[in-house]
A and B are shown apart, each in its own frame.
Chain A
Amino acid sequence: MDPILLAVQTLNGLQLGVLLFLVAAGLTLVFGIMDFINLAHGVQYMIGAYFAATFTAVTGSFLLGAALALPAAVLVGVALERVVFRHFYGRDHLDQVLATFGVIFFLTELVRVIWGPTPLSFPVPAWASHSVTLFGGATYPAYRLFIIGGGLAVAAGLYALVARTRFGMLVRAGASNPRMLQALGTDIKRLFLLVFALGAMLAGFAGLMAGPILSVEPSMGDNLLILAFVVIVIGGLGSIQGAFLGALLVGLVDTLGRSFLTDAVKLVLPASAAVDVGPALSSMLIYVLMAAVLIVSPTGLLPAKGATR
């Protein structure tokens, strides 16, 4: 196995994992505290990318575009919470699935009406469009390193926020027993809105970071949402640390599987069959990982403490 290719693919896996973490963290926070399952989270990620692409094109600067896109994405999230989602707290999970499903249809179509069905061009910012030389002569795009760094920084900030601040204390208390928290006098509706806004911000941030390297199109949120579900199931619902561990695992297993599994299959099967079997197997790999984790521990690797759901 080529060590340089391995290093590059490991970085790619890390980069996918970081993006997955940003999306999964919002999902798992919202679920852990409000017992609310938000399928539209992937759409919020997609909208973040659209805002960033548009504002970058208007202002001519990626950083300025990002700085405008982030509050816009939060605003959309808050509007969704106020208009639709808050009516569905405390309802059946089935109702929540359906309501957010309807929101997906609406927003995806709205994006198609506003920006058109074709992918938006969103170039990598000039200051990060070069490649960096790593050890052993491998080169790696600077922008992807920027994603990894930015994502890890946000992950650290999120950890500090949840573990070290008063807001984080309320979040943790809300995750283990929201009713008790309300009885103790916390304005739980305000907390819900804040947590939802935080989740929307993380999804929007993931979208604006991913925009330049993925294609900005209406369906870009779907795949990521389902990967984020796999992440949450592996990591344990409601747990930020679990989401982090799960995201890195899924990112690495998926990326490394896609680049090396077909070659591995060629060792066992004739090349013509391997070309068919390899990609099919590698696209199944993370689901096999998920099934394996479930067999060992049905509530994921690091379930949130006190969560009984």
Chain B
Amino acid sequence: MSADTLSAPPRAVRFRGALLPLALFALLAVVPFVAGALGQPFYVSLFTRIMIFAVAALALDLVLGYGGMVSLGHAAYMGVGAYAIGILSFHGVDSGWLQWPLGIGAAALAALVIGALSLRTRGVYFIMITLAFAQMLYYTANALSTYGGDDGMTLWGRSSFSGLVKLSDARTFYWIVFAVLALSYLGLRRVVASKFGRVLRGCKENERRMAAIGYNTALYKLAAFVLSGALAGLSGVLLANHTEFVSPAYMSWVRSGDLIVMVVIGGLGTLHGPIAGAVLVLVLEEVLSKLTQHWWLIFGPLIVLTVWRAKGGVVRLFGGRA
């Protein structure tokens, strides 16, 4: 956002800044116990889903919040990861050792090709092009009649890891997704604090200046885009395992927009912001959809108001920072 994010914060602020992420992860950690105590296993499933989207929102924040690249097609990489699982499962390959790396790799490859083409452009062109390529993947998934076409297809089951862990157990799966989210968060913290991360933020502030002092900015941005695509692919892998179903709807542009909403409402350019955003948006969706079937009438204006009035997302309300 501003130049001050480039320098290290003083110790007191750093401590206060760590409180909110800790509180978020603590909240996510007690969910299975609270759900167990209340006899509401549904909450475990809901928060599994929330954490899966939090991983995708984190991935998007790397390019959006740190790289300044407005990608309006990030659901596509989630979809590619999910479809890799679905297609492998369809052909009888259910080993997670194979499925997961292939899912992540396929998403990274898609991000590499799309990123290399899209990053030739900037500004609004970039927004439209990332959206258009995501639509291309969406229609391609629709046309795959062998794999369910526009109806999508049900998986044979969740990935198997040589009997080491049973993903079919809801709680086990919850903790695996929790671990993936925590590791993604910690990993990205290191990435954005590294030289790579600082060059990336430098490109966002003033790309021409970064290029003038000798950085190959296109390469840095592409690397961030591919890393982000791979992480979104991982969240797609998790989503396919969670729902045991894949469909083109995973890649729809509304889904991509939802991810941006999560990142921006949570707090752009902070890493706990997207997690808070995913929790907030999906819990709100759950609560509002219980109230009325026309909950979009409330949610739409809420988005407009948040963007208009609350710059910096909800995490800024707590005075926290990355």
Whether A95 contacts B136 by the Cβ 8 Å rule is no
Asked if A101 is an interface residue, CB under 8 A from chain B, the answer is yes
Option from A84, A226, A279 in Cβ contact (under 8 Å) with B135: A226
For B, the interface residue count at a CB cutoff of 8 angstroms equals 42
- Chain A minimum-CB-distance residue to B147: A276
Option from A99, A229, A287, A298 in Cβ contact (under 8 Å) with B120: A298
- Chain A minimum-CB-distance residue to B145: A276
Q: Per-residue 0/1 for B134-149: is the Cβ within 8 Å of any A Cβ (1 yes, 0 no)?
A: 0110011011111000
Whether B70 contacts A279 by the Cβ 8 Å rule is no
Q: Which of B64, B142, B297 has the most CB of A within 10 A?
A: B297
- Other than the given A94-B260, A99-B304, A280-B139, 4 more pairs (CB < 8 A) read A93-B123, A287-B133, A309-B123, A309-B124
Q: Per-residue 0/1 for A72-109: is the Cβ within 8 Å of any B Cβ (1 yes, 0 no)?
A: 00000000000010011000011101110111111111
B128 to chain A: which residues have CB within 8 Å?
A: 229-230, 232-233
Whether A99 contacts B297 by the Cβ 8 Å rule is no
Q: What DSSP secondary structure best describes chain B's contact surface? A: helix
Selected interface stretch from A187-195, A203-211, A289-297:
A289-297
The 10 A-B residue pairs whose C-beta atoms are closest, nearest first, are A106-B300, A102-B303, A105-B300, A109-B296, A283-B139, A280-B143, A287-B136, A102-B304, A229-B128, A279-B143
Asked if A222 is an interface residue, CB under 8 A from chain B, the answer is yes
Asked if A37 is an interface residue, CB under 8 A from chain B, the answer is yes
Tally of contacts, chain A with chain B, CB under 8 A: 126
Asked if A180 is an interface residue, CB under 8 A from chain B, the answer is no
B304 to chain A: which residues have CB within 8 Å?
A: 84, 98-99, 102-103, 106
- A306 CB to closest chain B CB (Å) equals 16
Asked if B308 is an interface residue, CB under 8 A from chain A, the answer is yes
Asked if B77 is an interface residue, CB under 8 A from chain A, the answer is no
Contacts A/B (CB < 8 Å), 21 sampled: A37-B127, A94-B268, A97-B72, A98-B257, A98-B260, A106-B297, A106-B300, A109-B296, A113-B297, A222-B253, A226-B131, A230-B128, A233-B128, A233-B129, A280-B140, A283-B139, A287-B133, A290-B129, A290-B132, A295-B117, A298-B120
Whether A291 contacts B117 by the Cβ 8 Å rule is yes
CA distance A81 to B277 in the complex (A): 28
Q: What DSSP secondary structure best describes chain A's contact surface? A: helix
Whether A298 contacts B261 by the Cβ 8 Å rule is no
A113 to chain B: which residues have CB within 8 Å?
A: 294, 297
Asked if B264 is an interface residue, CB under 8 A from chain A, the answer is yes
Asked if A237 is an interface residue, CB under 8 A from chain B, the answer is yes
Option from B135, B136, B254, B294 in Cβ contact (under 8 Å) with A109: B294
Whether B120 contacts A102 by the Cβ 8 Å rule is no
- Chain B minimum-CB-distance residue to A238: B124
Asked if A110 is an interface residue, CB under 8 A from chain B, the answer is yes
A104 to chain B: which residues have CB within 8 Å?
A: 300
Asked if A112 is an interface residue, CB under 8 A from chain B, the answer is yes
Q: A102-B301, A105-B296 known; A88 and B308 CB under 8 Å?
A: yes
CA distance A88 to B299 in the complex (A): 19
B135 to chain A: which residues have CB within 8 Å?
A: 226, 287
Whether A233 contacts B300 by the Cβ 8 Å rule is no
Asked if A153 is an interface residue, CB under 8 A from chain B, the answer is no
A169 to chain B: which residues have CB within 8 Å?
A: none
- A28 CB to closest chain B CB (Å) equals 10
Asked if A140 is an interface residue, CB under 8 A from chain B, the answer is no
B120 to chain A: which residues have CB within 8 Å?
A: 294-295, 298
Q: Which of B263-321 contact A (CB under 8 A)?
A: 264, 268, 294, 296-297, 299-304, 307-308
- Chain A minimum-CB-distance residue to B299: A105
Asked if A275 is an interface residue, CB under 8 A from chain B, the answer is yes
